[in-house]
Amino acid sequence: MASRSEVHPIAGAADVVKVRQVARSWALELKLSLVDQTKLVTAASELARNTLDHGHGGTMRVEQVENGLRRGIKLTFEDKGPGIPDIAMALRDGYTTSGGLGLGLSGSRRLVNEFDIKSEVGRGTIVAITRWK
Ligand SMILES: Nc1ncnc2c1ncn2[C@@H]1O[C@H](COP(=O)(O)OP(=O)(O)OP(=O)(O)O)[C@@H](O)[C@H]1O
Ligand SMILES: [Mg+2]
């Protein structure tokens, strides 16, 4: 079944706030538990920051997805930035190229049910996450 989706730009700090609000409102609409809402919003916040800071801006697509009887919220972050040369390394706790904590990617992965990352050096990065109800 086709479901609704929206695409939001991530071009500045205010967009990171907006993306958090959008993730929260879709999670609320699906009636995710408060804990699951917070997990999704926290992951969205980290990934939106990465899209902005490392990917030089991009977009977040939000959609409600279904798998049999299960419904969930899927968020897809896409940028056309420099890409990630070594994804396995970038996913390690503490790995950072920017003096951050290096917990954004690894932490968001732990907060969701599905985490998919594709990246090509010189072309950009796509990170898709899903939290199931
Ligand atoms: N969209 C992206 N484009 C290019 N590189 C990225 C992207 N997202 C993450 N990276 C790379 O992966 C590294 C790890 O990301 P992660 O979010 O875990 O840490 P961080 O952003 O450096 O610090 P923080 O803990 O503050 O998020 C980054 O330092 C960066 O090198
Ligand atoms: Mg980060």
Comparing CA positions, the residue from 42, 38, 62, 46 lying closest to residue 103 is: 46
Q: What is the extent of the structural domain holding 38?
A: 5-132
What CATH number is associated with residue 106? 3.30.565.10
pTM of structure? 0.97
Q: How far is ligand 1, taken at its centre, from the CA of residue 8, in Å?
A: 20
Ligand nearest to the CA of 52: 1
Compute, in angstroms, the gap from residue 43 CA to the centroid of ligand 2.
10
List of residues 6+ apart from 133 with CB closer than 8 A: 30, 31, 32, 36, 70, 71, 72
What pLDDT score does 4 carry? Answer: 87
- Mutation choice for ligand 1 from 50, 51, 89, 95, CB with most ligand atoms inside 8 A: 50
Rounded Cα gap, residues 45 and 33, in angstroms: 18
Question: What pLDDT tens digit does each residue of the chain (133 aa) get?
Answer: 446 899 999 999 999 999 999 999 999 999 999 999 999 999 999 999 999 999 999 999 999 999 999 999 999 999 999 999 999 999 999 999 999 999 999 999 999 999 999 999 999 999 999 999 9
Q: Structurally, how many domains does the chain consist of?
A: 1
